Amino acid sequence: MTALHSPHSEAPPEAQARRLGSVRARLAGSPLVRHGGILRTRLVRPADLEALVRDAVESHARATEARVESSADLRGDPERWLESAPGGDAINRFATSEAVLERLRCATDVPWQPAGPGSWSYYRRSGHHLGLHQDLAVCDLAVITCVVDEGDSRDSGVLRLWPSRVRDDLDAIRRDPTGAVDIRLQAGETLVLLGGIVAHQLMPLAPDHVRIVAPLCYQVDPTRPE
Ligand SMILES: [Fe+2]
């Protein structure tokens, strides 16, 4: 669900293991891990939502479509069909704001920094989706913010996660998908997720459903005090 799904932005898993290893004990006792590695919250101030929607709509002029119908099960490279675009000033201000960084630190007991610039994902055609995956190693913490969710129905556009299956590989989850948790983010809501550990997917959109999210990636910030 995160922006950095393209294989060229892969980072060595060893580097991620080192980053997370340095904070493992604090993370283990944090509110995020106590909630199974997923935390639904509100990080967008109501007054800022309109600017984020405008950023998402304007950025769509630079969107490109990804349609990948089979996957080698590489991390961060699932089968998928969606549009993505680099974000503008509003999403990057949000991603780097002290208020958001502080909220993330409180949720995890760990300081974070954005792993890269913000982007938007657009799910706006019937069948747009993101297949089952875990996030790239460059993404220690996924922060998924929904800014538009119009015309939803049933499980269209639902984020389906397996927080109780972190020891199972993706094939095992495909064979037996029990234990799923479904979350439908409303506009203005954010999901904080250990996306490299908790498998997740975005269920296919029904006709006339439009959903726009900012899938931000963060890494442990070694320059900040604990
Ligand atoms: Fe993801």
Using one digit for the tens of pLDDT, what is the confidence trace for 94-131? 999 999 999 999 999 999 999 999 999 999 999 999 99
Is there a domain that residue 48 lies in? yes
**Statement: residue 179 has pLDDT above 50:** yes
Is there a domain that residue 181 lies in? yes
Is there a domain that residue 225 lies in? no
Q: How many A from CA of 76 to the centre of ligand 1?
A: 7
Helix (H) or strand (E) holding 146: strand 141-150
The strand pair at 190-193 and 159-162 is best described as unpaired
Is there a domain that residue 136 lies in? yes
Is there a domain that residue 156 lies in? yes
Q: How many A from CA of 225 to the centre of ligand 1?
A: 28
Is there a domain that residue 63 lies in? yes
**Statement: residue 2 has pLDDT above 80:** no
**Statement: residue 174 has pLDDT above 60:** yes
**Statement: residue 225 has pLDDT above 80:** no
Q: How many A from CA of 172 to the centre of ligand 1?
A: 18
Inter-residue contact 207 to 152 (CB < 8 Å): no
Nearest to 168 by CA among 156, 177, 155, 157: 177
Contacts of 98 (CB under 8 A, 6+ apart): none
The strand pair at 141-150 and 129-133 is best described as unpaired
> The domain containing residue 96 runs over which residues?
7-220
Reported as a single tens digit per residue, the pLDDT across 133-172 is 999 888 999 999 999 999 977 899 999 999 999 999 999 9
Q: How many A from CA of 221 to the centre of ligand 1?
A: 20
**Statement: residue 3 has pLDDT above 50:** no
Nearest-angstrom CA–CA distance, 65 and 84: 6
Q: How many A from CA of 134 to the centre of ligand 1?
A: 6
Nearest-angstrom CA–CA distance, 212 and 77: 20
Residue 216 phi, psi (nearest 5)? -95, 145
Residue 175, domain CATH: 2.60.120.620
As for how many domains the chain has, the answer is 1
Q: How many A from CA of 199 to the centre of ligand 1?
A: 8
Environment class of 38 (CB within 10 Å of its CB; exposed 0-12, middle 13-18, buried 19+): buried
Q: How many A from CA of 2 to the centre of ligand 1?
A: 4
User: What is the pLDDT of the chain when averaged over all its residues?
Assistant: 91
Residue 157: left (phi > 0), alpha (psi -120 to 50), or beta?
left
Reported as a single tens digit per residue, the pLDDT across 6-53 is 433 445 778 888 888 888 889 999 999 999 999 999 999 999 999 999
Is there a domain that residue 23 lies in? yes
Contacts of 108 (CB under 8 A, 6+ apart): 26, 27, 30, 31, 32, 33, 141, 192
Is there a domain that residue 2 lies in? no
All residues with CB under 5 Å from ion ligand 1: 1-2, 135, 195
